[in-house]
Chain A
Amino acid sequence: AQSVTQLDSQVPVFEEAPVELRCNYSSSVSVYLFWYVQYPNQGLQLLLKYLSGSTLVESINGFEAEFNKSQTSFHLRKPSVHISDTAEYFCAVSGLSSNTGKLIFGQGTTLQVKP
């Protein structure tokens, strides 16, 4: 079984400052890892994912996340945030050996970008 812990429920930050949203997971098998973003009253959108290969994955809008197997972490970072990045961010994990495709989600982190 897998579990996901997002260590911060809310992260306030000023515009153009760097940000890190923390995610730790627990699993007895190898995993796929995901970050999703949710804007108010909308569904979730895939931001980036780690399936295999390079441990550093990037999104098209400047976010990146690094898979750290020894620390069982997949923290999301952005060097300079914009007001439009204000949203809720979810980390999720799926076991490689799972034949159900189920994703286990963290509790979410609300990123509040202030002008």
Chain B
Amino acid sequence: DGGITQSPKYLFRKEGQNVTLSCEQNLNHDAMYWYRQDPGQGLRLIYYSQIVNDFQKGDIAEGYSVSREKKESFPLTVTSAQKNPTAFYLCASSRQGDGGYTFGSGTRLTVV
């Protein structure tokens, strides 16, 4: 079955460390997205990519970086510059023009 896989499900980071969250899809979707979810704040867009080797900043890109070297993969790196990284991170993909997203099951990142 097609879908989106995010790994790991839980991740712990020490202050000052970079960590990378994985997102892989086998839906043949062109567009992929990273959102951050905090209690009471809904979902906020970090980065998105519509085609391979191209991506754009979302509303809260500072302290994050991404790459899109393959259509199937859109990893997110949370850098040490992100001052408040503890959150639930969601990856999604969509077919162009369809408007609806398919979401992964999320990665919960905690700074210790």
> Which residues of A sit under 8 angstroms from B7, Cβ to Cβ?
none
- A84 an interface residue at 8 Å Cβ cutoff? no
Q: Is the CB of B56 within 8 A of A41?
A: no
Q: Tell me if A94 and B103 are in contact (CB < 8 A).
A: no
Whether A44 pairs with B103 at a CB distance below 8 angstroms is yes
Is residue B48 within 8 Å, beta carbon to beta carbon, of the partner chain? yes
B40 within 8 A of A: yes
Please name all residues of chain B whose beta carbon is closer than 8 Å to the beta carbon of A90 when the two chains form the complex: 42-43
B67 within 8 A of A: no
A100-B50 contact given A34-B100, A51-B99, A106-B42, CB 8 Å threshold: yes
The secondary structure that dominates the B interface is strand
Which residues in B have their C-beta under 8 angstroms from that of A41? 88, 106, 108
Q: Does B21 contact A (CB under 8 A)?
A: no
* Complex contact B48–A102 (CB within 8 A): yes
Chain A 26-67 per-residue mask, 1 if CB under 8 angstroms from chain B, else 0? 000000101010000111111001010000000000000000
B53 within 8 A of A: no
User: Which one of A41, A46, A51, A102 has the highest number of Cβ atoms from chain B below 10 Å of its Cβ?
Assistant: A102
* B99-A100 in contact (CB<8A): no
Contact of A46 among B43, B56, B100, B105 (CB under 8 A): B100
| A-chain residues with CB within 8 Å of residue B101 when the two chains form the complex | 44, 46, 103
B99 x A94 contact (CB < 8 A): yes
Q: Is the CB of A43 within 8 A of B90?
A: yes
- Inter-subunit contact A101/B99 (CB<8 Å): yes
Query: Which A residues are in CB contact (< 8 Å) with B40?
Result: 9, 107-108
Interface residues of A, Cβ cutoff 8 Å to B: 9, 32, 34, 36, 41-46, 49, 51, 90, 94, 100-103, 105-108
4 tightest A-B CB contacts, nearest first: A43-B103, A32-B99, A107-B42, A105-B43
